Structure 1
Amino acid sequence: MILRVRAKPKSKVEWVKEVEEGIYEVAVKEPPEDGRANERIIELLAKHFGVSKSKVQLLRGSTSRLKVFEVIKD
């Protein structure tokens, strides 16, 4: 499954919500430095979809707020 994600780094509260079909907003406490926010987004998406972190992959947008992820569900 391909997801478009709007990242919100340095948030006070972490959450994942679907704003439209296939489009999610993910807020993380981590700053967007050294890929820390991306790693935390992967962890939150994995938890949200009930898969391991290795099943969530960042395809595009590593330095952008708009990202594309692939989630592999068995």
Structure 2
Amino acid sequence: LHREEEQLSCCSLCQDVLKDPVSTSCGHWFCRQCITSDWDQSGSSGDSSCPQCGKRPRPGPGLQTNPPQQDLH
């Protein structure tokens, strides 16, 4: 894998392959359980920031799941 692909398929919190991947509004990917437990430890979700870059999520849905792939048939 290329380094960029490894970053997209690896959670920066647990350093493992993404499980139930979600992305923050700043575009970083984490396992849903990792980011949820990280934010639970830091307090309310309104006060949470991205563990990778420190940016606060934009108002609205905090975590995004990967959009479903479109079938091209």
TM-score after normalising by structure 2: 0.30
Higher relative contact order (CA 8 A, sep 6+): 1
Q: Higher strand share goes to which structure?
A: 1
Q: Higher helix share goes to which structure?
A: 2
| Structure of greater Rg | 2
TM-score after normalising by structure 1: 0.30
